[in-house]
Chains A and B, each alone.
Chain A
Amino acid sequence: MTALAPPPTAPEKPRPPRERPGRRLRLRKGGGAGRTMTGGWIAYLVLGFALLISAFPFYWTIVAASRSNADLAQVPPSLLPGPNLMKNFEAVLEEADIGKALLNSLIVSGAITVGTVLSCTLAGFAFAKLKFRGRSALLTLTIGTMMIPPQLGVIPLFMLIAELQWVNQLQAVILPGLVSAFGVFFMRQYLIQSLPDELIEAARVDGASTARIFWSIVIPIARPGMAVLGMLTFMTAWNDFFWPVIALSSQEPTVQVALRQLGGGYVNDQSVIMAGTLLGTLPVLLVFGLLGRQIVGGIMQGAVKG
């Protein structure tokens, strides 16, 4: 996990440059880009304010989750955490079975992440480095669907899983979650830039089959890109709301579905709702805290909108 700074690709670029990975970019990076101006105190002030606004809702979640409902109904609201955190956690586990929801979310997001990264790396490699009939048409088709909102396909998709009797079962969320046109595009861009053609040709001359090349050459080189895609996929899958709400229900919820039930009026205890929100957010915040830099790098390379 060393060189996790893949070259940024401008979104509008028609043809990716065929050069060695990241050399030019590293130079650029050192210059701080654009101007190498040092920010004055105003920059720090404004950014500090922005950070405050970014972080405050998280802080407030902790405050509200650790207080009693009566505390929250006071008029000068208390801004410090209280002593009730554990009690509220217990209430959530009891009322909404958040434990099961967390486990389900973990299963769903984990399966989606592993499956997406694998299928997208395979397809991305084929689109980047193999020649076959219909390649550009299939790629255009794949990328073209990135612009189409998921709502458009949701009704037939629901009819499909109803037909398969998968409603309320986790595979109803996992299998459609494995489809990631963005992932294919992302891995293709990554491999075009970081996998030299000569390496593949050399292996071919030595008699390696494509499968052998994939396992011994492509995977090791693609690993940083796979890691970034994996993190982004995990976050998106964990936070996905629209489809899980439709496909699952209170018997087999993911965390997001459980949060909807908490907020949907079954529980009218604000501090318990906040405790549930905290539990549902913690795992992804953990991922973010550990790998935030890489996620920032991934976002700056392209775009994922979940």
Chain B
Amino acid sequence: MFPTSTAKAGPRPAGTGSGPGSGPASGSGPGTGPDGGPAAVPRLRRAWRKASPYAYIAPFFTLFLAFGLFPLLYTAFVSLYRVELQTSGEMEWRGIGNYTALFTDEYFWISLRNTFTIGVLSTVPQLAMALGLAHLLNYKLRGRTFIRTAVLLPYATSVAAATLVFAQLFGRDFGLINYVIGLIGLDPVDWQTGTVASQIAVSTIVIWRWTGYNALIYLAGMQSIPHELYEAAGIDGASRWRQFIHVTLPGLRPTIVFTVIISTIGATQLFGEPLLFEGSISGGISHQYQTLGLYMYEQGWGFFHLGRAAAIAWVMFVLIVVLVGVNALIARRRARKEAGR
């Protein structure tokens, strides 16, 4: 099917020289092979062979350096300067001034705490429910593909759309959720101004959007657990529940660690949900659900302190590194403990 045999006649990029590759140098590694008969291969062509891989990675790496890596590294530098949004070309040395200002700002600490509580409120139920869902999706079911696709549906929405819809469902006076709560006989909840209530509401949006996604990741992990383990467990008389605890969970450990880390990173940078829940940049009247991501946006694009915002970004990064490190450490210690048993 592939025109490999007619390739000789094909056009070549400039600089490759002419003549089909003859001799031993046309193996898999043109640069590393023993160049026994170099006379057969023109020098230009050999040079191109060596250089051409770089041409393939060049488009990606040009963009990656300019828009990915450079900004990443430069943030640390910016965080040591006073940079204002309107005059972002002028930078004035401030040392660790941005950081000390940050640590004396009570709203920084509030947003740090909020990021943590909303992170726990959203990640823990999300992953637990995803695990349960994945277990069910792993059964032989009618319309399996349809169900899997439907479970992923929330993933297809944007933060903006999901948040606007949920903000309405969580409305105090006319929201559907308070109406349902009222049917059960409970008092309506003020989902916007209550600290715990608003954080639960924001977490609900996150949970709704990401549970199906995580369930599919778990499902993929479950499918790579060898069938024989379940058979052996079944012969030993293990119930379905015990099989889940003793076969599925240990087999899924790497996947679980992966999702915990990904969700932790996601929770640390939560931004769209708290911004759009009420449309306020401060995350509620008393900053009750302002996250670090939103706090950074408020400092940078609300108050025009780009240097300060860069310091927040850097703090977020350190936080992520610490959290991921702790996760990895716990995972490794547990694995070692299990191996030693």
Contacts and interface: CB of A to CB of B under 8 A. Distances in A.
Given A12-B254, A123-B59, A46 B227 contact: no
Interface residues of B, number: 128
Interface string B1-39: 111110110111100100011100011110110000000
B186 interface: no
A33 B75 contact: no
A50 B135 CA distance: 13
B164 A263 contact: yes
B172 to A, nearest CB: 12
Given A155-B309, A159-B306, A57 B53 contact: no
A156 B262 contact: no
A212 interface: yes
B26 A204 contact: yes
A73 B174 contact: yes
Given A209-B13, A265-B279, 11 more contacts: A57-B162, A126-B57, A145-B68, A156-B78, A207-B20, A259-B276, A260-B279, A263-B164, A264-B279, A296-B145, A305-B262
Interface in B60-91: 60-61, 63-64, 66-72, 74-75, 78, 83, 88-89
B141 interface: yes
Contact of B313 (A60, A74, A155, A301): A155
- Tell me whether chain B's interface is mostly helix, strand or loop, or mixed: helix
A262 interface: yes
Interface stretch (A15-23, A87-95, A222-230, A269-277): A269-277
12 contacts: A33-B222, A33-B225, A39-B141, A73-B173, A210-B56, A259-B164, A263-B279, A274-B168, A277-B165, A280-B158, A296-B152, A303-B262
B63 A34 contact: no
A248 to B, nearest CB: 12
B286 interface: no
B70 to A, nearest CB: 7
Nearest to B300: A155
B136 A46 contact: yes
A107 interface: no
Nearest to A215: B10
Interface string B126-169: 00000011001111110001011111111111111111111111
A37 B140 contact: yes
A296 B223 CA distance: 14
Nearest to B69: A145
Interface string A264-300: 1100001001100100110011011000110110011
Interface of B: 1-5, 7-8, 10-13, 16, 20-22, 26-29, 31-32, 49-50, 52-54, 56-57, 59-61, 63-64, 66-72, 74-75, 78, 83, 88-89, 132-133, 136-141, 145, 147-169, 173-174, 176, 179, 208, 212-213, 216-217, 219-225, 227, 230, 240, 243, 248, 254-255, 257-258, 261-262, 265-266, 268-269, 271-272, 275-276, 279, 293, 296-297, 300-301, 306, 309-310, 313-314, 316-317, 320, 324
Identify the 3 closest CB pairs spanning chains A and B, nearest first.
A207-B20, A153-B71, A39-B139
Interface centre among A64, A148, A154, A259 (most CB of B within 10 A): A154
A156 B56 contact: no
Interface string A19-30: 000000000110
Given A11-B255, A138-B57, A300-B217, A157 B139 contact: no
A239 B159 CA distance: 7
